Structure 1
Amino acid sequence: MCGIAGLFSPSANINAERLQVSLEGMTKTLAHRGPDAEGLWADPVHGIGLGHKRLSIRDLSPTGAQPMQTGHGRHVIAYNGEIYNAEELRSELHQQGVSFDGTSDTEVVLKGCALHGVEAFVPRMIGMFAFAFWDAEKRQLSLVRDRLGVKPLYYACFQGVWGFASELKALYKHPHWKADINRQAVTQFLRYGYIHGPISIFSQVYKLLPGSLLQIDASGTTQEHVYWDAREKMREGQRTLYRASHNELVESTHRMLRDAVKRRMVADVSLGAFLSGGIDSSLVVALMQAQTSQRVRTFSIGFSESEYDEAPYAKAIATHLGADHTELYMEPKDAWDVIPQLASMYDEPFGDSSQLPTYLLSAMTRKHVTVALSGDGGDEVFAGYARYFLFEDTSSIEKKFWKLASDILQRTPASLLQLIARCAPARYKQDFVGRLTRMVERHYVDYLSRYRQVCLTHWPAPGDLVVGGSEPHDVLDDRGFLDALAGKVSQMQAADTLCYLPDDILVKVDRASMAVSLEVRVPLLDHRLFEHAWRLPADMKVRNGLGKIVLREVLSQYVPRQLFERPKMGFGVPIDHWLRGPLKDWAQSLLDPHTMKGQGLLRPEAILPSWQRHLAGENFAYPIWNVLMLEGFLQSSAHAVCAD
């Protein structure tokens, strides 16, 4: 895994010295992502420069160094990621007359894109990646991100000069950096605890969306292509459901899981796995151990508070599988040591408090291995979150009735509704239309709104907290897409896959692991497995209030059910207790009303009552943590923020 950065001035209006200095500054900012080597390449005549920080995983020799050029110098790449079918692609390219200097997957991507074109070659790649590809003849820069958003890529354009980087902080070194806070992003962050792409915390900076390819040509014209569309894969999957038997579907899923895990075990450095004791990580470790003669190194984190502690379960799974297990117990002091690093580590405000144990787990793991496999993605792909089962599916007849009522209500002229209202009993006359609309919404449309409010929301009215704040559109507002999916669980899965997964879960893992130069691989997010999962009948994922049915069936072939069949705990931390105890003074200092007033962004009078109620014993930990992370970001990044 690596860090990439670069600049492109289509009009070539940046001099060679400034290009070099800015490129060096951007690249050095990413040193933690690649401590093994640094490379710079620039062509001032064409206004282009690429930077790379290398974490050596495959082909540790100089032939894997980046930025990498083709022999004739027309094509150059700066690449971050791993391609798991690199050897098959290398063999195909070799048969087509392509020669190779080394064994890195970077060279496969470079020469594959050079021969076939980026748009044609990227869909053939299995892996996680974000890269920049320069074509000197076309004077065209292509920025590419993997299908589900495992690897990050930010970009911006200031005064006609495009900049891009693996992390937002590298863009601070852009020669014309000038950015202000995006108040819509702040409002969205306070609701969810993360900022959903393509927007970022800065109005002028964007995230390249998963499955996308952005091309910038010599005139400065941009074109964004979606080479893999998760929405379409979900719809297509439900249109083409498998008709095989239960046992056949379990076995086909088993084969795909084994292949996804095996491909991610290839490395020229030491390798291990995160193990929480839950279904996903246990399954990954079981499949690793089944495909190697070596004891798999596994790592877990625990808490002294028993309601948060999964470490004993992880240890029991590791013992059963014969893994070489290491665990660390987290205390409040450990959190205190990490908190000052969070704003710099995450670049943007980030409110998922499991960022703390994820970082500590990564740091402990990195002492032993360079690569770790993780079970992330299983809940979104195979429907594992307990919150999916809070909303019982109505019967098909009832659902059709309320859908019909909703359609009729939307199509009925207002004048006719008012006429009907005049005929209603006296006690219903007042706000008759509003009452009727709300009743229909509660039964048909509004469960998605309730899902947002009950399960995803931290601050229920975030616009009230932000001066000039409003919420941007997100996928839960796209009822046309969600309503086209069969079943409420599928609709909630889709929303989480498009928002929560790339902008919370994968951000958390990427930043925490790369802060300590650890590469984390996620086999359950193999795109082939994703497409397969959406073709499974609903009862292979959800049955009798349980999710991940097919994963449970596969895991039971390796681990006794009594070791993993228990209520899901998640990767939470006792932040509610800590905020009333060892973290109280720190929190109090960040919630200073005079500081917040002076920033002109938040309304302290709308926030502080919740803080006082939390101190009094109620639980407002998540919303308060969001504000603390925002304030930490604002104070640490003040130098990068332009005054409104």
Structure 2
Amino acid sequence: MCGITGFWGQETPSAATASKMAAQILHRGPDDEGVWCEEQAGLALAHRRLSILDLSPAGHQPMHSACGCYVIAFNGEIYNHLELRTRLERAGQAPAWRGHSDTETLLAAFAAWGVEASLQAAVGMFAIALWNRKARTLTLARDRFGEKPLYVGFAQGCGIAQGQRGDEREPVMGRGPLLFGSELKALMAHPEWQGTLATEALEGYLRFGCVGGEASIFQGVAKLPPGSMLTLSVADVQAGRLPAPVQWWSAEAAARAAMADEPLSDPLAAVSEVERALSHSVKEQMLADVPLGAFLSGGIDSSLIVALMQQQAERPVRTFSVGFDDARYDESQHAAAVAAHLGTEHMTLQATSAMALDLVPQLPELYDEPFADSSQLPTALVSKLTREHVSVALSGDAGDELFGGYNRHLWVPRIWHKLKRLPLPARRALALSLKAIPPHALDRMMQLCGKVLPSRLRMRTFGEKLHKLAAVLESSSERALFAGVASMNRQPTALLKGSRPGAAPEALFPALAQFNSVEWMLLMDTLHFMVDDVLVKVDRASMASSLEVRVPFLDPEVFHTAWRIPAGIKLRDGQGKWVLRQLLYRHVPRELIERPKMGFAIPLDDWLRGPLREWAEDLLSSASLAELPMLDARQVRRLWQAHLKGQGHHAQQLWAVLQLLAWQRRWKPGLP
């Protein structure tokens, strides 16, 4: 695992500038640095190395191909690279190997098969910058699901429009050299950088808590889409334009292809096929020349990954979890029980609130783009603990998206089936009456009634839930209903100046033919929530501690197998992830697993009223809010005061605003 960066189009490429850019992502690769310049082309490639495979100098980057045509800066892991080497050798296309790194394997494949065919043959996570010395072209490429990040744009004005969900992307002309890198902070280190805030990205950010799609928080700087490659010529760079990326792999197309294959309609056969594919993925991803372990929360996904690791390991797998001093958010005892049953070498970080709070001021540095999924804090803490003992950790991420693990996958179709029977005007009238009572008043009613109600009917956030129900009632379609429940903030434009209504919920997620409602939700969560939130959270939190995290569920064969399983088997007997549950029961007793889904949460409501209050008040001061004049300062302060008084549950919306303000204070973007 590494970090890459570079630039193209500077009259005299400076190795010192490239090194300065790479220094900003030192955490992604603390073991080695490499810089290479092609002076006649005005190009520089820089690399920071975290040594995982081939720890010798033979793995140093940027690396030249044996044929002399290619130079690569590569971030990631190719899990099947030994298989690719064998294919090359059997075809007589292998060079005289200098080492056993996957980078050298990739270069040989590019020379023998071409770039696109090689990417399609490779299984792994990666971001690549590849210079073709003969053709004088630069190719940037990203893995299937976007596990590894890659930003690209021109230093001034930059060259891809800010395509949000549902928007059409239009080309924009840029000026200055082309910049690219694993993180935005690498681009910002270039002396010609002039970053201007992309105000059009704020609505989506405030709604979902992340900057999604191809957009970035800076005008014209884009994320290369997952499963795509972008090839630039000298003429492109001189003209300040970025051509459209070529999609070499598509989750939607791969899902359709799997559904066209023979379906796994027999439930037990489906479980066995998933076991076969996932076991193979785990085996490949356990390949490393450094110590390796796994995250273990005690939930279904991470427990299954650890069980399959332990089944194939020669010694106890090292597992890691984090426990909190607040029992409401502590799953560490469940993880320890699973670890004891499987016989792993387990460690628990007993995190205190103080440890998490100390991390809060560092978040704008760690996430150099505004990011507001508060589970970023425990993820960063467990990554820090894990890195003290191993360099690589496997995780259970993506199990929910592939196999139907979120509550919305179960109840959105159920609720919509009932809602659509009632005319929309009647539903809106009922919603209006529910919203007429403030959430805090409803909470007080529940407190009074709670004295006589059974415990199972008592709700701590009764008012918030009823207001969410009101929003559900107002949904005009099943797509709108899903968009609402998938949002952190249903009305993000209320926090922005102006009275524009914002995007309609239906426009946020495209309609796709041939998918039923559950399949459509799974694909939307894969393409958006997983890519824009989950993978970003894990990548930045883990790489901040120089820890490589691998995701066995995101193997293309596992994906194909999952999409061969009918939705009615994935969600069966009123439960999500039915297939994964049955597979896990082959390794772990049911009683160790069956409990309500908790998630990787923190007591954000209490922290904002207590130990984080001073930090928040400082960011919400008039002077601080004035730095982002597009925010409606009055509305933001009103939300803050309501939260302090316990009038509603606004912690998530406020966290998004606070992270935006903290990011602005650290990086000081130009305003349009």
TM-score, length-scaled by structure 2: 0.85
* Secondary structure of the corresponding residue to residue 532 of structure 2: helix
**Counterpart mapping for 1:50-65 below 5 A:** 50-65=45-60
Aligned twin of 1:2: 2
2:538 to 509, 514, 517: 509
CA distance in 2, matches of 1:515, 1:215: 30
CA distance in 1, matches of 2:500, 2:42: 38
CA distance in 1, matches of 2:499, 2:179: 27
- Cα distance, 1:445 vs structure 2: 5.4
Range with greater deviation from structure 2 (522-531 or 59-68): 522-531
CA distance in 1, matches of 2:398, 2:649: 28
Aligned twin of 1:413: none
- Cα distance, 1:480 vs structure 2: 5.5
- Cα distance, 1:451 vs structure 2: 2.3
**Counterpart mapping for 1:232-381 below 5 A:** 232-240=253-261, 242-381=263-402
Residue 40 (str. 1) matches residue 69 (str. 2): no
CA distance in 2, matches of 1:280, 1:538: 18
Range with greater deviation from structure 2 (64-73 or 191-200): 64-73
Structure 1 residues 140-163: Cα deviation after superposition (integer angstroms, max 9, x where no partner): 111010001111000111324211
Aligned twin of 1:447: 478
- Cα distance, 1:616 vs structure 2: 1.3
CA distance in 1, matches of 2:559, 2:590: 25
Range with greater deviation from structure 2 (68-77 or 102-111): 68-77
Range with greater deviation from structure 2 (64-73 or 443-452): 443-452
CA distance in 2, matches of 1:576, 1:258: 40
CA distance in 1, matches of 2:560, 2:632: 45
C-alpha spacing 1:52/1:469, structure 2 compared with 1 (3 Å): farther
C-alpha spacing 1:114/1:470, structure 2 compared with 1 (3 Å): farther
**Counterpart mapping for 1:426-441 below 5 A:** none
Range with greater deviation from structure 2 (469-478 or 336-345): 469-478
Aligned twin of 1:83: 78
Structure 1 residues 430-466: Cα deviation after superposition (integer angstroms, max 9, x where no partner): xxxxxxxxxxx9799522212222x222332212322
1:179 to 195, 216, 221: 195
CA distance in 1, matches of 2:604, 2:418: 44
* Secondary structure of the corresponding residue to residue 316 of structure 1: helix
CA distance in 1, matches of 2:257, 2:578: 21
* Secondary structure of the corresponding residue to residue 295 of structure 1: coil
Counterpart code for 1:529: V
2:507 to 465, 477, 481: 477
- Cα distance, 1:586 vs structure 2: 0.8
- Cα distance, 1:248 vs structure 2: 1.7
* Secondary structure of the corresponding residue to residue 245 of structure 2: strand
Aligned twin of 1:216: 232
Tell whether the 8 Å contact from 1:308 to 1:574 is kept in structure 2 after alignment. Answer: yes
Identity within the alignment, %: 44
C-alpha spacing 1:472/1:85, structure 2 compared with 1 (3 Å): farther
C-alpha spacing 1:399/1:237, structure 2 compared with 1 (3 Å): farther
- Cα distance, 1:399 vs structure 2: 8.3
Tell whether the 8 Å contact from 1:147 to 1:228 is kept in structure 2 after alignment. Answer: yes
Tell whether the 8 Å contact from 1:261 to 1:523 is kept in structure 2 after alignment. Answer: yes
* Secondary structure of the corresponding residue to residue 263 of structure 2: coil
2:564 to 526, 535, 542: 535
Residue 151 (str. 1) matches residue 148 (str. 2): yes
Tell whether the 8 Å contact from 1:276 to 1:313 is kept in structure 2 after alignment. Answer: yes
Residue 198 (str. 1) matches residue 214 (str. 2): yes
1:162 to 174, 178, 203: 178
Structure 1 residues 308-342: Cα deviation after superposition (integer angstroms, max 9, x where no partner): 11111100000000011101122221122111210
Structure 1 residues 344-367: Cα deviation after superposition (integer angstroms, max 9, x where no partner): 111101000011110010000001
Structure 1 residues 235-293: Cα deviation after superposition (integer angstroms, max 9, x where no partner): 33334451552222211111111001111101000000000000000000000000012
Structure 1 residues 525-550: Cα deviation after superposition (integer angstroms, max 9, x where no partner): 11221121111111221013211111
- CA RMSD, 1 decimal: 2.4
CA distance in 2, matches of 1:395, 1:599: 39
Counterpart code for 1:103: H
Counterpart code for 2:478: Y
TM-score, length-scaled by structure 1: 0.89
CA distance in 1, matches of 2:329, 2:38: 53
Tell whether the 8 Å contact from 1:145 to 1:152 is kept in structure 2 after alignment. Answer: yes
* Secondary structure of the corresponding residue to residue 382 of structure 2: helix
- Cα distance, 1:68 vs structure 2: 0.2
2:102 to 105, 109, 119: 105
CA distance in 2, matches of 1:510, 1:202: 20
Structure 1 residues 16-61: Cα deviation after superposition (integer angstroms, max 9, x where no partner): 4xx3232111111111000000000010101211000000001000
CA distance in 1, matches of 2:265, 2:628: 60
Counting matched residue pairs gives: 598
C-alpha spacing 1:24/1:243, structure 2 compared with 1 (3 Å): closer
Counterpart code for 1:458: M
CA distance in 2, matches of 1:607, 1:443: 24
Tell whether the 8 Å contact from 1:187 to 1:471 is kept in structure 2 after alignment. Answer: no
Unaligned runs of 5+ in 1: 403-440
1:231 to 240, 244, 252: 252
- Cα distance, 1:92 vs structure 2: 1.1
Counterpart code for 1:615: L
CA distance in 2, matches of 1:483, 1:611: 43
Residue 629 (str. 1) matches residue 624 (str. 2): no
- Cα distance, 1:612 vs structure 2: 1.2
* Secondary structure of the corresponding residue to residue 482 of structure 1: coil
Tell whether the 8 Å contact from 2:67 to 2:111 is kept in structure 1 after alignment. Answer: no
CA distance in 2, matches of 1:160, 1:319: 57
Tell whether the 8 Å contact from 1:262 to 1:291 is kept in structure 2 after alignment. Answer: yes
Tell whether the 8 Å contact from 2:475 to 2:481 is kept in structure 1 after alignment. Answer: no
Tell whether the 8 Å contact from 2:479 to 2:505 is kept in structure 1 after alignment. Answer: no
